A = this chain, B = another copy of it.
Amino acid sequence: MPTRARRTQRRNQVLSREQIIDTAIDLLDAGGEGALTVRAMTDRLATGSGAIYYHVGNRDELLDTATETVITAALATRPAGAQATPADEVRLVALALFDAIAEHHWLATRLILQIVRNPVGPVTVGIFERLGRQVGALGVPQARWFDAASTLVHYILGAISQNARVEGDTSGIDPEADREELFDATSRAWQELDAESYPFLHAIVGQIREHDDREQFLTGIAVVLDGLTRLR
């Protein structure tokens, strides 16, 4: 009985954990969470599943690590200058997260999952610390710092998650056009609703076309910050 046949050629460069995470992010960006399969990974990296599991342990762990990598990079923006207000710093962080999720749609679900399941991880810790530092400067009394920071985090993560375009769209050439199309379809659908039952949706059907996600997000932040300064 012959031993196993000669192996196919072996890679000349070792597989690193970083390499794996990077290609995972690539796959996620290209096709959403469903596109991150072990098979796709082995194809891209020209290796076997064993090699991947040797470095990474788990699909879920891989997703968490990918999330960590992206968010850590987004938070690595330097703090605003010395003359910047706490509101400026909050906006800086918030927009960095907004942009990160715009580039990596799969973060919408994963980010919240990570915050909930792993309060000790760098994602939760990083976001909370960076944003929380500002609430004192906003005039929130120390006894309310946790409430204030939580409110800020809840709003920012909620808003950016709900603004993300998620899988299902046909990865069109121009994602902005898709977005406009979605607004059009939505406002048309809302207009066709019963006017008696849905007076509010009818009233704002025009605004949905005109609005800009990013500006609306900044308005929301201004609202929350304004409310926080009055927290006694």
Are A162 and B153 in contact, with the CB atoms below 8 A? yes
Name the residue in A132, A142, A185 with the highest tally of chain B Cβ atoms < 10 Å from its Cβ.
A132
Say which one of A9-17, A20-28, A47-55, A163-171 lies at the interface with B. A163-171
Are A154 and B162 in contact, with the CB atoms below 8 A? yes
Residues of B within 8 A of A142 (CB): 203
Extra contacts besides A132-B200, A142-B203, A227-B227 (4): CB < 8 Å:
A112-B161, A120-B190, A129-B198, A145-B204
A residues adjacent to B (C-beta < 8 A): 108-109, 112-113, 115-117, 119-120, 125, 128-129, 132-133, 136, 142-151, 153-159, 161-162, 164-166, 168, 182, 185-186, 189-190, 193, 197-201, 203-204, 207-208, 211, 216, 219-220, 222-228, 230-231
Return the contact of A120 from the options B165, B189, B197 (Cβ within 8 A).
B189
Looking across the interface, which residue of chain B has its beta carbon closest to that of A225? B227
Decide yes or no: A119 and B182 within 8 Å by CB, A145-B207, A216-B147 being known contacts. Answer: yes
Return the contact of A112 from the options B112, B182, B193, B207 (Cβ within 8 A).
B112
* Cα distance A199–B165 in the bound complex, in angstroms: 35
* Cα distance A156–B204 in the bound complex, in angstroms: 20
Are B201 and A128 in contact, with the CB atoms below 8 A? yes
Return the contact of A230 from the options B116, B145, B190, B226 (Cβ within 8 A).
B226
Return the contact of A189 from the options B119, B148, B197, B201 (Cβ within 8 A).
B119
Decide yes or no: A204 and B125 within 8 Å by CB, A155-B224, A220-B154, A227-B223 being known contacts. Answer: no
Can you pick out 14 interface pairs between chain A and chain B where the beta carbons lie within 8 Å of each other?
A: A112-B112, A112-B162, A117-B166, A125-B193, A125-B201, A133-B199, A147-B220, A153-B162, A154-B159, A157-B158, A158-B158, A158-B159, A158-B161, A227-B227
* Cα distance A18–B230 in the bound complex, in angstroms: 48
* Cα distance A133–B196 in the bound complex, in angstroms: 13
Return the contact of A151 from the options B147, B193, B223 (Cβ within 8 A).
B223
Nearest-CB distance from A89 to chain B (Å)? 12
Are A129 and B200 in contact, with the CB atoms below 8 A? yes
Decide yes or no: A133 and B200 within 8 Å by CB, A155-B154, A193-B125 being known contacts. Answer: yes
